[in-house]
Amino acid sequence: MPVALVSTTPTKAQLATKAKEDEYLEECAFTVACETLESRFRQAVWARTNARTGELKTLKNAFLKFDTDNSGTVDLEEFKRTLKHLGLHCNEGDTRNEAGCPTGLGGLDPKVVEALFSRYDADGGGSISYDEFSERFLKDVDMYKLPKML
């Protein structure tokens, strides 16, 4: 008895659904990458401001170190240098896998870095003021649990 072949060509509706699913998964992965980078950023800053032996720096002093041109704000280039200084490298030349994600050790997707910068640049002005930085940095931080972050 002959076997009937069933067409495996997806319909337009199936393709549209698959595209929406892929877009959703991409968005989720991007969000997770942003959350992970922000968590690593906070941990690195706290480690340098509170964990040095015999030295206690304030968040304000940390911000002032990030502001290398002494303008009172941190622009995107200063932010990238800060991430690099903290060991959170933004290697724009890293190779990428088939999903477009960086594969180099420590390489951060520049879009994720820009998205994190935008989270801190609350007014969208292209630079981060100390007020914007401290408000976002301390958002949802339980001050009693800070040592556990390190």
> Of 76-80, 112-116, 132-136, 140-144, which range is least confident?
140-144
> Of 57-61, 98-102, 108-112, which range is least confident?
98-102
pLDDT of res. 83 = 85
pLDDT digits (tens, 9 = 90+) for 37-62: 888 888 888 777 765 544 445 778 88
pLDDT of res. 150 = 39
In CATH, what number does 12-149 get? 1.10.238.10
Query: What is the residue extent of each domain of the chain?
Result: 12-149
Q: Please tell me the pTM assigned to this model.
A: 0.64
3-state helix/strand/coil string of the chain: CCCCCCCCCCCHHHHHHHHHHHHHHHHHHHHHHHHHHHHHHHHHHHHHHHCCCCCCCCHHHHHHHHCCCCCCEEEHHHHHHHHHHCCCCCCCCCCECCCCCECCCCCCCHHHHHHHHHHHCCCCCCEEEHHHHHHHHCCCCCHHHHHHHC
